Amino acid sequence: MSKNAIERLPAFRRTADCLRSAVISALLAVSATTTAAPLDSQQDLTALPMEQLLNLEVYTASKFTQKVSEAPSAVSIITAADIKAYGYRTLADILKSIRGMYVTNDRNYSYVGTRGFSRPGDYNSRVLLLLDGYRLNDGVYDGALVGTEAIVDVDLIDRVEFVPGPGSAIYGGNAFFGVLNIITKNGKNIGGAEVSGEAASFETRKGRVTYGNRSEGGLDVLLSASNYRSRGENLFFPEFNDPATNNGVARNLDYDRYDQLFTKFSYGAYSLDVAYSERTKGIPTASFQQVFNDPRSQTVDEQAFINLKYYDKPSTSLDVQASLYYGHYAYAGDYVYDYPPVTVNRDETRSDWWGGELRLLSTAFDRHKVIYGAEFRNDVHRDQSNFDRDPFASFLDDHRSKQTYGVYAQDEFSLSDSWILNAGLRQDHSTEDETATNPRLAVIHKFTPMTTAKLLYGTAFRAPNAYEKYYVTDGSQYKANPDLKPEKIKTYEVVLEHYLQNDFRFTGSVFSYKIDNLISLTLDPADGLFVFRNIDAAEAKGIELEAERIWSGGTRLRASYSWQLAKDSATGTRLSNSPRHLAKMNFTTPFFGDVWRAGTEIQYMGERTTPRGGKVSDFTVMNLTLTAERFARNLEVSAGVYNLFDKKYADPPSTEHFDSLFRYLDQITQDGRSFRLKLTYRY
């Protein structure tokens, strides 16, 4: 295979002996590409016949999605080309590269932080996660799963859009700090069959088989299955370093296994997405007062959905979108407690829901783009249970259901060629007597076609989830609070976007967020029981800056810096797990005559406090990926090093990270240097 590649690509052979210095060349390649670029511009493409132009391949990732400049937010987009160039393995990897976002991992789940907020014990309920428009947040935790527990393989993602700020005026609940929209590839993008295999550190292997195509008749089909198995490391926890508890080493407990299925059919106005995933993860941290280093401790998360969509344009001034869906989420956790005796306790959740949405977009009135929408969701099961397996004893068996209705409207009014007014309003009502009205207002001014300023105001809400309201086990120290109210956020933001031709973009943003009725776990002094209450108020302000430059030939540089200050409004203390500084740099360039592409990212995170008052220090991590899209005929090779300089760093643990001996974890150490080799063969 590689012999073939060398014959076809003499440039590769000439420079093959330089392979060792590949890392350095990648980093110095800015100058390399600027010398390579004139080669293209010297070639007069207009002299070529059309037939040839039609056959030339282009590097398309360079396109900024320009509609973004009119969006009432400062949108970030990560494309399939980025996923490939930077060797992203999970959705969490993708989010880490987005301006102002950070991800915390406790070796069980991944937690998204944005604009300085990452609340302990929150399974991402304050970020709305959409997959091709379908709402993934479940009905019990409102959780959005983004690590290896996510529902879709990142290789199937066409792009991820992050719209920071409140999105409740269109999307209703959970669109609190932002909306993350995953758009998957079509069968046409795959254009055949793909088999991909990868091997990585910690005895990790992954396989994926995908078929995708569009028939002459217009039927687009995508079928994909992925399988991932990782044995994981034997992790050492200094807090548990005692001969009685295996000297603090969790043996074979960082294992991680998942299976994913994804299918997508579209024909004419209709499309049907079906997805399924199941992930099993060992718990090495003894969280929730477990016995440390017991091999039975694990969580299983299962997600599935069917989403039928209809999209049509009955006239030039009307778009009709409708969807009908069924969703399922199930969780089962085995927790090992020492009552005594040592007993396996099982925690289970079942969430099933169905619903539908209708959205009309009308451009019938000159200069107005009006959206009307209505949504209904029926959470048939929001069930939670807790029991000991042997001997059997039930502590919780709670069954709930809930219906939610929402109606909304938005008008984008082009006052003139340079002024746009965007106003939206949504009202939500639920059978748990929660009513929320959320407006959004944006004034967008285009100083020139290349410079846009946006003034944004919006509010959002999040209804308390079933876990916060009803999770109370008999004899535990928790009590229910059915009177919990939705929490609310009010935000102001000013955004400036500037483009210089098509190859330079600058985005700057200043924001101020204020949250009321924040739901937090507290201790009731009257009875000494833990209860979720709407007590906290918090606020955050900050600045985000990002610049991106593209060179012809596909070299790209993106750098961002965020400063944010998130604090408790009552006490003025800084929130836990809230870094004041975040800085990121992503750089990718082709080298060796475009056979290889290097993608490197550097991420800095400032010091964070832990919920228990400790600190985890700041760190910088660098990742490097080399990809040869056409290493040989039909064969793509990707080799990645993550945490290249083996930086030792840690994330703050939430307060439930203590073992059966009440030893709390001060920090959770993250992976050191690791490697991945991935081969993809296309037919």
Partner 1 sequence: MQRLTLILALFFPFLAHGAAFSEYELKAAFVYNFASFTDWPPNAAPGMSICVIGQDPFGRALDALEGKIVKGQNLTVRRLGTIAEARTCRVLFISASEADNLPRLLAAVKDLPVLTVADMEDAAHQGVMIGLAIDNQRITFEINASAVHNADIALSSRLLSLARNVYSPP
Residues within window 281-310 making contact with partner 1, judged by CB under 8 A: none
Please report whether residue 11 would count as binding partner 1 according to CB under 8 A: yes
Nearest approach in angstroms of CB 597 to partner 1 is 9
Please report whether residue 666 would count as binding partner 1 according to CB under 8 A: no
Between 93 and 161, CB nearer to partner 1: 161
How far is the CA of 262 from the CAs of 266, 361, 543, in angstroms?
A: 14, 29, 38
Strand partners, 681: 195, 635
Between 435 and 634, CB nearer to partner 1: 634
Between 41 and 435, CB nearer to partner 1: 41
Strand partners, 252: none
The 399-418 site mask, x for binding partner 1 (CB under 8 A), equals: -------------x-x--x-
Omega before 391 within 30 of 0, i.e. cis: yes
Between 317 and 394, CB nearer to partner 1: 317
Please report whether residue 369 would count as binding partner 1 according to CB under 8 A: yes
Please report whether residue 450 would count as binding partner 1 according to CB under 8 A: yes
Nearest approach in angstroms of CB 504 to partner 1 is 10
Between 211 and 376, CB nearer to partner 1: 211
Please report whether residue 215 would count as binding partner 1 according to CB under 8 A: no
Please report whether residue 4 would count as binding partner 1 according to CB under 8 A: no
Which structure tokens are listed for 70? 């009119």
Scanning 34-42, 91-99, 265-273, 462-470 for contacts with partner 1 by CB under 8 A, the matching segment is 34-42
Are 323 and 300 in contact, with CB atoms under 8 Å apart?
no
Nearest approach in angstroms of CB 438 to partner 1 is 23
CA distance 276 to 273: 10
**Torsional class of 659: left (φ above 0), alpha (ψ -120 to 50), beta (otherwise):** beta
Please report whether residue 59 would count as binding partner 1 according to CB under 8 A: yes
Instruction: With CB under 8 A as the rule, give the number of residues binding partner 1.
Output: 57
Q: At residue 644, what is the residue type?
A: L
Nearest approach in angstroms of CB 594 to partner 1 is 5
* CA 137, chain centre distance (Å): 12
Nearest approach in angstroms of CB 89 to partner 1 is 24
The beta-carbon contacts of 366-372 under 8 Å, at least 24 apart in sequence, are 367/413, 367/414, 367/415, 368/411, 368/412, 368/413, 368/414, 369/411, 369/412, 369/413, 369/414, 370/409, 370/410, 370/411, 370/412, 371/170, 371/408, 371/409, 371/410, 371/411, 371/424, 372/408, 372/409
Please report whether residue 526 would count as binding partner 1 according to CB under 8 A: no
With H, G, I as helix, E, B as strand and everything else as coil, classify residue 72.
Answer: coil
* CA-closest candidate to residue 642, choices 600, 678, 589: 600
Please report whether residue 503 would count as binding partner 1 according to CB under 8 A: yes
Nearest approach in angstroms of CB 639 to partner 1 is 19
Between 237 and 596, CB nearer to partner 1: 596
Residues within window 121-180 making contact with partner 1, judged by CB under 8 A: none
Q: At residue 627, what is the residue type?
A: T
Between 147 and 590, CB nearer to partner 1: 590
Nearest approach in angstroms of CB 554 to partner 1 is 7
The 611-630 site mask, x for binding partner 1 (CB under 8 A), equals: ------------------xx
Nearest approach in angstroms of CB 508 to partner 1 is 18
CA distance 523 to 517: 16
Are 253 and 284 in contact, with CB atoms under 8 Å apart?
yes
Strand partners, 549: 504, 557
Question: Of the candidates 15, 62, 252, 669, which one interacts with partner 1 according to CB under 8 A?
Answer: 62
Between 287 and 627, CB nearer to partner 1: 627
Compute the Cα dihedral for 120, 124, 125, 126 and give only its sign: positive
CA angle, residues 333, 478, 291, in degrees to nearest 5: 40
Please report whether residue 30 would count as binding partner 1 according to CB under 8 A: no
Q: What is the DSSP string of 144-176?
A: ---STT-SS-GGGEEEEEEEES--HHHH-TT-S
The 170-189 site mask, x for binding partner 1 (CB under 8 A), equals: ------------------x-
Nearest approach in angstroms of CB 137 to partner 1 is 28
Between 54 and 244, CB nearer to partner 1: 54
> Residue 63's CB: how many other CB atoms inside 10 A?
13
Scanning 64-72, 84-92, 111-119, 454-462 for contacts with partner 1 by CB under 8 A, the matching segment is 64-72
* CA-closest candidate to residue 283, choices 241, 251, 247: 251
CA distance 267 to 218: 6
Please report whether residue 244 would count as binding partner 1 according to CB under 8 A: no
Are 291 and 334 in contact, with CB atoms under 8 Å apart?
no
Please report whether residue 31 would count as binding partner 1 according to CB under 8 A: no
Nearest approach in angstroms of CB 537 to partner 1 is 38
CA angle, residues 276, 280, 285, in degrees to nearest 5: 145
Question: Of the candidates 1, 27, 48, 523, which one interacts with partner 1 according to CB under 8 A?
Answer: 48
Question: Which residues of 363-434 form beta strands (DSSP E)?
Answer: 368-388, 393-398, 402-414, 419-430
Between 39 and 272, CB nearer to partner 1: 39
Residues within window 632-651 making contact with partner 1, judged by CB under 8 A: 633
Strand partners, 440: 424, 458
With H, G, I as helix, E, B as strand and everything else as coil, classify residue 188.
Answer: helix
Which structure tokens are listed for 60? 């398309």
Residues within window 550-589 making contact with partner 1, judged by CB under 8 A: 552-554
Please report whether residue 535 would count as binding partner 1 according to CB under 8 A: no
Question: Of the candidates 34, 227, 449, 535, which one interacts with partner 1 according to CB under 8 A?
Answer: 449
Between 346 and 630, CB nearer to partner 1: 630
* CA-closest candidate to residue 637, choices 118, 41, 17, 19: 19
Strands 127-131 and 178-184: parallel
Please report whether residue 56 would count as binding partner 1 according to CB under 8 A: yes
Nearest approach in angstroms of CB 157 to partner 1 is 17
Between 259 and 594, CB nearer to partner 1: 594
Residues within window 312-351 making contact with partner 1, judged by CB under 8 A: 316-317
Question: Which residues of 155-269 form beta strands (DSSP E)?
Answer: 157-164, 178-184, 192-200, 204-214, 219-230, 235-236, 249-250, 256-267
Q: State which H helix or E strand residue 521 sits in.
A: strand 504-524
Please report whether residue 15 would count as binding partner 1 according to CB under 8 A: no
* Residues at the interface with partner 1 (CB under 8 A): 8-11, 36, 39-41, 43, 45-46, 48, 50-60, 62-63, 65-67, 69-70, 188, 191, 316-317, 363, 366-367, 369, 412, 414, 417, 449-450, 499, 501-503, 552-554, 590, 593-595, 629-630, 633
